[in-house]
C-alpha cells in the first residue's frame, strides 16, 4: 500500500496560486491563438474566470487584432497557460 505524500508548507496547489492572484493582473494564453490580459475578479473549481479591464490579443492574417473589454467570463476549458502578473509583450 502506497501512501499519498502530504503537502509541506513550501508547496502550493494550483488553485491556491490562482486564488492568490485575485485582484492582480494575469496574462492568459488560450488554445485558439488568443491571449488575454486582465484583472482577475474571481474563479471557480473549473478555473472559469471573471476578468475586468481586459485586453484581448488575436493573431489574424492581417496582423494582431487588439480588443478592449470591460468585463468577461472566461471558460477555463480553453486556457492553456496563466502567467500571474504578466502583461502582453509589445512585439
Cβ neighbours for 28, distance < 8 A, ≥ 6 positions apart:
35, 36, 37, 38, 49, 51, 74, 79, 81, 82, 83
Predicted confidence (pLDDT) per residue in 57-80, tens digit? 998 899 999 999 999 999 999 999
Kindly list the structural domains of the chain, giving each domain's residue range(s) and its CATH number in brackets, ordered by start.
21-83 (2.30.30.100)
pTM, rounded to two decimals: 0.80
Predicted confidence (pLDDT) per residue in 15-70, tens digit? 998 999 999 999 999 998 899 999 999 999 999 999 999 999 998 899 999 999 99
Amino acid at each position: 500500500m502506497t501512501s499519498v505524500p502530504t503537502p509541506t508548507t513550501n508547496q502550493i496547489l494550483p488553485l491556491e496560486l490562482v486564488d492568490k492572484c485575485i485582484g492582480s493582473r494575469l496574462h492568459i494564453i488560450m488554445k485558439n491563438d488568443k491571449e488575454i490580459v486582465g484583472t482577475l475578479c474571481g474563479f471557480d473549481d473549473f478555473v472559469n474566470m471573471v476578468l475586468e479591464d481586459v485586453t484581448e490579443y488575436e493573431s489574424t492574417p492581417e496582423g494582431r487584432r487588439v480588443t478592449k473589454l470591460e468585463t468577461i467570463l472566461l471558460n477555463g476549458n480553453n486556457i492553456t497557460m496563466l502567467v500571474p502578473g504578466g502583461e502582453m509583450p509589445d512585439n
